[in-house]
Amino acid sequence: MPECAQELRAFIRNNFLYGSESPGLAFGDEDSLVERGIIDSTGILELIAFLEMRYAIVIDDDELVPDNLDSVSRVARFVERKLQPVAR
């Protein structure tokens, strides 16, 4: 999970902020990426594509909610849940 969070931070910084280290665009693991303006209106689709490719998961339409995807911690927890074998 910490590894996943680190990968996510790097992906977000490189993919959406072109690697900028500007303090104005620093984001914490709990910050809302949309409200902070880090992810723009088409960016969410890039994030989904990245998650599906990198972690070999399939994200259903009803999972596309900010509760799952709108901060580094939320995404990391979401990915972790998706990677766990389905409980019987």
Partner 1 sequence: MCAIAGAVAAKRAAFDPSLVADMVATLRHRGPDDCGLRAAEGIALGHARLSIIDLPGGRQPMCSGNGSIWIAFNGEIYNFIELRADLVRRGYTFRTRSDTEVLLRLYEADGDGFVQKLNGQWAFAIWDEIRRTLLLSRDRFGVRPLFYTTRRDRLLFASEIKALFVDPSVTRAIDPRGLDNVLTFWTTIPPRTVFKDVHELPPGHSLTWHDGGVTVTPHWQPAFRLDEAASRSDGEWLEELRARLVQATRIRLRSDVPVGAYLSGGLDSSVVTALMREAAGQPSSTFSIAFDEPEFDERVHQQAAVRALGTDHHELRCAHGDIAHVFPEVIWHTEQPLLRTAPAPMFLLSRLVRERGFKVVLTGEGADEVLGGYDIFKEAKIRRFCARRIDSKWRPLLLRRLYPYLPDLQRQPAAYLHAFFHVSADDLASPLFSHLPRWARGRRLRLLLSDEMRASLDGYDGREEIASRLPADFGRWDAFCQSQYLEMALLLPGYILSSQGDRAAMAHAVEGRFPFLDPDVVELAAALPATLKMKGLDEKHLLRRLARDLVPEPLWRRSKQPYRAPDGASFFDDGRPDYVDELLSPARITRDGIFTSSAVDLLVRKFRERQPVGATDNMALVAVLSTGLLVDQFINTLGKAAHAGVRPGVAGLHPQ
| Phi, psi of 54, deg, nearest 5 | -70, -40
State in angstroms the smallest separation of the CB of 31 from partner 1.
13
Q: 76 with 1: CB under 8 angstroms?
A: yes
* Nearest to partner 1 of 5, 48 (CB atom): 48
Measured from the CB atom, the residue of 64 and 83 that comes closer to partner 1 is: 64
3-class SS shares of the chain: helix, strand, coil, % to 5: 55, 0, 45
Nearer to partner 1, 35 or 80 (CB): 35
Task: Please give the residue ranges that form the binding site for partner 1 (CB under 8 A).
Answer: 14-15, 17-20, 22, 25, 32, 34-35, 37, 40-46, 49-50, 61, 64-66, 70
**Token pair of 24 as six digits:** 């104005």
